[in-house]
Structure 1
Amino acid sequence: MKRNVGGFDRTWRLVGGAILVAVGLASFAGLLSVGTTVAAILIVAGAVFFATGVVQKCTINRLLGIDTYRKDAETDAESMDETPAKRAS
């Protein structure tokens, strides 16, 4: 599967996912009272958001035809890796 998560979308997945996991864990620790079921849902949802931000691939984005990944950066990086360095004579 191609990368389809990037830019602002990726940033919010990483930040939002971490926040959801933190709120869920805080609830399990007794620091917040949102309920056990809600806390578990927050942890799972946060982990999924964070993971999709890390790997930059989202099945739901693919099904909906959404692609926020910037292809220019990948193309530039690949061309730099394949081009051998020229040495001065």
Structure 2
Amino acid sequence: MFAKNMGQSDRFIRTFIGIVLLIVFFSMAGGILKWLALIVGVAMLATAAMGSCPPYSLLGINTCKTKD
């Protein structure tokens, strides 16, 4: 679907941040920050799983060392 444009370290950092944000989501009582944490956390995990970041494509950024 999307060309891979994220390297291993980028994917690891996004996975870590995504998990932290989901933990924040489940530990907060309520409010807009809770839902923002969920949305950003899921987006981080999704892009890490795909290995592709659509904004990177638009900006011409590629942190992937190999062309799979």
Task: Give the TM-score range, shorter chain.
Answer: 0.7 to 0.9
Within 5 Å, which residues of 2 pair with 1:4-15? 4-15=5-16
How far apart in 1 are the matches of 2:10 and 2:59? 15
* Corresponding residue number in structure 2 for 1:63: 58
Within 5 Å, which residues of 2 pair with 1:28-47? 30=29, 35-47=30-42
Structure 2 residue identity aligned to 1:8: S
How far apart in 1 are the matches of 2:6 and 2:31? 31
Could you list the runs of 5+ residues in structure 1 that have no partner in the other structure? 75-89
Q: What is the TM-score when the length of structure 2 is the normalising length?
A: 0.87
Q: What is the TM-score when the length of structure 1 is the normalising length?
A: 0.68
What's the CA shift for 1:18?
Answer: 0.7
* Corresponding residue number in structure 1 for 2:4: 3
Counting matched residue pairs gives 67
What's the CA shift for 1:64?
Answer: 1.0
| Percentage of matched positions with identical amino acids | 27
RMSD of aligned residue pairs (Cα, Å): 1.3
User: After TM superposition, where is structure 1 displaced by more than 3 Å over at least 4 residues in a row?
Assistant: none
